[in-house]
Amino acid sequence: MNSSWITIAILGLIAHWSMALPDTVKIGGLFEASEELDMMAFRQSVNKINMDRTILPRTKLVAQPNIVTRHDSFTVADKVCNLLGMKVIGIFGPSSEFTSEDVESICDTMEIPHVETRWDLYQRRGTMLLNLLPYPPAMAKVYVDLVKAWKWKQFTVIYENDDGLVRLSELLKMYDPKGYTVTVRQLDDEDGNYRHVLRKIKRSGETNIVLDCSIDILYEVLKQAQQVGLMASHHNYIITNPDLHTLDLEPFQYGGTNITGVQLIDPADPLVNTTLNEWRDFERAGKGRMDSGYHNITPSTLRMGTALMYDAVQLFGRALHQLDSSQHVAIKPLDCFTQGNWEHGFSLINFMRVSEMKGLSGAIHFDNQGFRTNFVLNIVELTEYGLIQIGTWNSTEGLNLTRSHATDGISMDVGEHMESLQNKTFVVLTALSPPYGYLKHSAAKLSGNDRFEGFGIDLIHEVSLLLGFNYTFKIQHDGVYGSLNRKTGQWNGMIRELMDYRADLAITDLTITYDREGAADFTMPFMNLGISILYKKPTKEPPSLFSFLSPFSREVWMYMLAAYLGVSILLFFMARISPAEWNNPYPCIEEPDTLENQFSLKNSLWFTIGSLMQQGSEIAPIGVSTRMVAGIWWFFTLIMVSSYTANLAAFLTVESMSSPIKSAEDLAKQNVIKYGAKRDGSTAAFFRDSNYSTYQRMWDFMINNPDVFTSSNDEGVNRVKNSNGKYAFLMESTSIEYVVERECDVSQVGGLLDAKGYGIAMRKDSSYRNALSAAVLKLQEVGKLYALKVKWWKEKRGGGACRDDASKGSGAASELGLPNVGGVFVVLIGGVALACIIAWLELIYKVAMNSIKNRTPFWPEIKDEIRFVFKCHGSTKPVRKKDDEKEEKSGAEEEMGEEVAADFIPLSPYATPYGYVKKERMT
């Protein structure tokens, strides 16, 4: 019995080790030259993970930092691709807004986690993006709460650039002539001189100031404000930069000016002190560079970016451990120029989103959209003793000031504690929207939850099995999911039902949007999707009159013509060079006066074209060089003709399809095909709120043509089917996938216009959001969500009807270009070149032999031969003989001339001197 248990334990251990990560795992970092401390924090965080064997017990994390230029997008993209080729499974940075979007695009395509720590004012949920910096709109609320706490009825906002206005948008919304008066002024940079702006503020008599600028110029702005008299005891400042504590504020702490700031990093946190001590110990132990600057970092000088980079790597390591514990992880090099991705990227980034940890920047949590939430900011104030903490601000609970005189009128909500979901009963709101919800077909009368089926119904059932709660479905009969009336500020549809406590959960194809996120909570997305175009299936292209030219590109045809002419001319010259091609025209005469060459220019052209057409000719080469040229040309024609025949068959059998539109840009550029979306839906809202010029143009078209909007997706689908190609419908990609499985005359055109997700909605600040998100993630990890999608998209309710139609020759044959057949041309050129060399060697050898035989000089002979070759005229040439033979022959010819009349008769009236026969023979 004991031995069997030991065997089972060993087998379990072997199975566990077989699922383990590789011995080393690489992560890449992109840093600017000025971000040396951030790079050091990146390395130190990796070292910390490697020393803590509880995080990655069998794997060593390897840092791959890279220095990048702020504005050089091409170089940054090239470095990212190089990192992916080195099996890097995570990219950290860069901090530049000019290059981060390129990195994000590459990581989304290759499904590699992309972690940022930068200010991103337009931060949106990216497919593979995670930003550890708190969500800017959420951080903006702290300044609103501070203004209300200090009871400022009028104040001035000083900002450095346009990003500051976006960052302080919540403050600007407070403007009300009867309530708050807000003045906005920009810091005009004139070689670092801001005094003229500050003087204007002083002359206006304004005493309450909100200052937003980078940490690099903050000290200089405060110093110049002090110089112009704008930092007296009656002046009040709110500094928005979280790195205020890293400056030397001694020159300002004795003037009595009320300066308030915020901190994401708590210098008194034991974890911060312990971590910085570990950095210094690492440097003193000689494991780090002596000039790294660790010894200069203290809790009061640690910048937010450095701390966030350290926390980002720690979070990555813990998520990687969870991924390793749940599934077998394979890592492979990726190539940006080929199709391929990392199959574990989505799982890893989702583990990071649901992970929670304590870092240098405090507690780290993320909401269902991947934005950092539940973070705590310290409220600090400058006194004569330096910066002291006077309170905290929590993204869920609001402002909590410890100073009694400053807390008047400030309320603090206490969040609900997480409760067990065991045996709870939820009212779940859904809609009859295929395939998320159907009325079940049954001959028997059904009641309760048995009346419904669909993807959303099955998903709630699976989640309830994991968490142990009960549920009752309720139908949203009007089919309205929920939109905000911006005039009245009221919600409708499902969101309204949740807010009014008439339902606990809502599930259907409910898109997570910024507005909805403000009114309700959502789980992490159970389905990722985007907007795409539904259009009539492309029609077949009519055959072209000259389709027989299609197998080769125009470039290949031109090269073939050049090869034909070139080989023909070369064969003509080489036949003139090669002695073997000069033949005796009269075989009965042993020593003729002239020789003939069968390869005239016409015959050479005829020989090569006959070979190309695979018909041959009566001409055959004799010399080694000419036969080599002929063989190489026959090899060339064999490959080219075979390639042409094979590709021609593909062109004749594959039907090519043509569509007038292939993308949203094509739609926006034309006026023949109308296009629209569901009225008051998230798709219409996307075009309405988009800043992209193409989408704005499309929205203007839809607004100016209100008839293009539909009341439902079904109406849009029917309109596409019946419009004869004159209408395109914009809808979610998952809905398009469902439609094209059942309607064989429509198809999806182009890619996705955006990235978003569907989630389970619940009331704001629900205590069970994290539990539901974890359950959804678990279903995704075990493949249950994919199985449900296959079931309801491709199998149930008519799914798969168009699968056979889609499998028919959908791919068009492509013409063969020069890269496909270029090697054959190389072989042809090489063979012809070698044949040319052999032809010249044959000529030299023949002339040398004749020179020896006839006892004549070699060089005059070879010069005459070359001169005759390049004369390029005539297909006969005289035979060279020595002088005494010429004299003997001429005498013999004279004697023969005297005897011809008596002994010979001509064979014909046109007979040559050799065309006679003796009379005796005639007798």
Helices (H) and strands (E) in the chain, counts: 30, 38
Global pTM? 0.48
- Cβ neighbours of 515 (radius 10 Å): 16
**Coil, strand or helix: which one is 689?**
helix
pLDDT at 905 over 80: no
**Coil, strand or helix: which one is 133?**
coil
Least confident of 203-212, 420-429, 872-881: 872-881
| Residue showing tokens 């020896």 | 852
pLDDT of residue 908: 41
Shared domain for 647 and 708, answered yes or no, is: no
pLDDT at 903 over 70: no
Residue 101: give its domain's CATH number. 3.40.50.2300
Q: CA 553, CA 571: separation in Å to the nearest integer?
A: 27
Shared domain for 519 and 565, answered yes or no, is: no
Shared domain for 648 and 661, answered yes or no, is: no
Q: How confident is the model at residue 900 (pLDDT cuts 50, 70, 90)?
A: very low
Q: What is the token pair recorded at 289?
A: 């560079």
pLDDT of residue 292: 52
Per-residue pLDDT of 362-397, as tens digits, reads 889 888 778 888 888 999 999 888 888 888 998 777
Mean residue pLDDT across the chain: 80
Question: Side chain identity at 343, as an amino acid letter?
Answer: E
pLDDT at 894 over 70: no
The verdict on residue 78 lying in a domain is yes
pLDDT of residue 494: 92
H or E segment and range at residue 188: none
Angle between helices 554-577 and 624-653 (to 10 degrees): 160
The verdict on residue 588 lying in a domain is yes
Tell me which of 694 and 414 has the higher pLDDT: 694
pLDDT at 863 over 50: yes
pLDDT at 445 over 70: yes
Cis peptide before 94 (omega within 30 of 0): yes
User: Using H for helix, E for strand and C for coil, what is the string for 75-102?
Assistant: HHHHHHHHHHHCCEEEEECCCCHHHHHH
Name residue 185's beta-bridge partners.
158
**Dihedral (CA of 355, 527, 509, 665) sign:** positive
The verdict on residue 892 lying in a domain is no
Tell me which of 766 and 587 has the higher pLDDT: 766
Helix ranges (DSSP H) in 613-749: 624-653, 664-669, 682-689, 693-704, 713-722, 733-740
Tell me which of 276 and 587 has the higher pLDDT: 276
Helix ranges (DSSP H) in 128-228: 136-149, 162-167, 169-172, 195-204, 215-227
Question: Side chain identity at 731, as an amino acid letter?
Answer: M
pLDDT at 128 over 70: yes
**Dihedral (CA of 697, 699, 705, 709) sign:** positive
Shared domain for 665 and 750, answered yes or no, is: yes
| Residue showing tokens 């019995």 | 1
- Cβ neighbours of 41 (radius 10 Å): 29
Q: How confident is the model at residue 82 (pLDDT cuts 50, 70, 90)?
A: very high
pLDDT of residue 203: 85
pLDDT at 124 over 80: no
Q: Answer yes or no: are the C-beta atoms of 379 and 260 closer than 8 Å.
A: yes
The verdict on residue 8 lying in a domain is no
Q: Who's near 168: CB < 8 A, 6+ residues apart?
A: 140, 143, 157, 159, 210, 212, 240
pLDDT at 115 over 90: yes
Q: What is the token pair recorded at 555?
A: 């470039």
pLDDT of residue 898: 47
Per-residue pLDDT of 251-308, as tens digits, reads 898 888 899 999 988 888 888 888 888 888 777 765 555 445 555 788 888 999 999 9
pLDDT of residue 174: 84
Q: How far is CA 234 from CA 65, 202, 230, 753, in A?
A: 48, 12, 9, 53
Q: How confident is the model at residue 86 (pLDDT cuts 50, 70, 90)?
A: very high
Please calculate the CA angle 132-136-138 and round it to the nearest 5 degrees: 100
pLDDT of residue 138: 79
Q: CA 900, CA 894: separation in Å to the nearest integer?
A: 10
Tell me which of 918 and 653 has the higher pLDDT: 653
Q: What is the token pair recorded at 542?
A: 């009519």
- Cβ neighbours of 385 (radius 10 Å): 7
Shared domain for 173 and 253, answered yes or no, is: yes
| Residue showing tokens 């001169």 | 867
Number of domains composing the chain: 5
Mode of pairing for the β-strands spanning 727-732 and 531-536: antiparallel
pLDDT of residue 912: 41
Q: Give the closest residue to 702 by CA, choosing from 726, 721, 730.
A: 730
Shared domain for 638 and 561, answered yes or no, is: yes
Highest mean pLDDT pick, 431-440, 570-579, 748-757: 431-440
Shared domain for 587 and 629, answered yes or no, is: yes
pLDDT at 31 over 90: yes
The verdict on residue 126 lying in a domain is yes
Mode of pairing for the β-strands spanning 181-186 and 154-159: parallel
- Cβ neighbours of 204 (radius 10 Å): 11
Q: What is the token pair recorded at 31?
A: 């840093």
Q: Who's near 511: CB < 8 A, 6+ residues apart?
A: 481, 682, 732, 756, 757, 758
Q: Answer yes or no: are the C-beta atoms of 312 and 31 closer than 8 Å.
A: no
pLDDT of residue 824: 63
Q: What is the token pair recorded at 370?
A: 């991947």
The verdict on residue 907 lying in a domain is no
Mode of pairing for the β-strands spanning 60-67 and 24-31: parallel
Q: CA 604, CA 630: separation in Å to the nearest integer?
A: 11
The verdict on residue 698 lying in a domain is yes
327, 333, 337, 339 alpha-carbon torsion, rounded to 10°: -30
Per-residue pLDDT of 299-346, as tens digits, reads 888 999 999 999 999 999 999 998 888 888 888 899 988 878 898 998
Q: Tell me which long-range contacts 612-620 makes (C-beta under 8 A, separation of at least 24).
A: 612/564, 612/637, 612/640, 612/641, 614/641
Shared domain for 664 and 598, answered yes or no, is: no
Q: What is the DSSP track for 334-362?
A: --TTSS---TTHHHHHHHHHH--EEETTE
Average pLDDT over residues 858-878: 71
Q: Answer yes or no: are the C-beta atoms of 721 and 743 closer than 8 Å.
A: yes
pLDDT of residue 505: 94
**Coil, strand or helix: which one is 658?**
strand
pLDDT of residue 641: 84
What are residue 562's phi and psi, to 5 degrees? -65, -40
Shared domain for 128 and 277, answered yes or no, is: yes
Shared domain for 504 and 566, answered yes or no, is: no
Percent of the chain at pLDDT exceeding 90: 20
pLDDT at 602 over 70: yes
Q: CA 748, CA 725: separation in Å to the nearest integer?
A: 13
Percent of the chain at pLDDT exceeding 70: 83
Please calculate the CA angle 315-317-321 and round it to the nearest 5 degrees: 115
- Cβ neighbours of 269 (radius 10 Å): 17
pLDDT at 221 over 90: yes
Q: What is the DSSP track for 413-460?
A: PPPPPP---TT-EEEEEE---TTT-EEPP-SS---GGGGEESHHHHHH
Question: Side chain identity at 198, as an amino acid letter?
Answer: L
Shared domain for 649 and 699, answered yes or no, is: no
pLDDT of residue 87: 92
Domain end position, chosen among 263, 278, 296: 263
Angle between helices 554-577 and 858-869 (to 10 degrees): 140
Structural domain boundaries, residue 230: 137-263
Least confident of 103-112, 234-243, 593-602, 751-760: 593-602
The verdict on residue 5 lying in a domain is no
Per-residue pLDDT of 176-217, as tens digits, reads 777 788 889 998 766 788 888 899 898 888 889 999 999 989
Q: How confident is the model at residue 95 (pLDDT cuts 50, 70, 90)?
A: confident
pLDDT of residue 653: 64
Q: How far is CA 892 from CA 592, 897, 903, in A?
A: 14, 8, 15
pLDDT of residue 656: 53
Tell me which of 687 and 296 has the higher pLDDT: 687
Q: CA 402, CA 457: separation in Å to the nearest integer?
A: 49
Q: CA 167, CA 119: separation in Å to the nearest integer?
A: 9
Shared domain for 171 and 53, answered yes or no, is: no
Tell me which of 458 and 732 has the higher pLDDT: 458
Q: Give the closest residue to 529 by CA, choosing from 210, 793, 204, 323.
A: 793
Per-residue pLDDT of 528-567, as tens digits, reads 888 899 988 876 656 566 666 777 888 888 888 888 888 8
DSSP state of 61: E
DSSP state of 825: H
Residue 447: give its domain's CATH number. 3.40.190.10
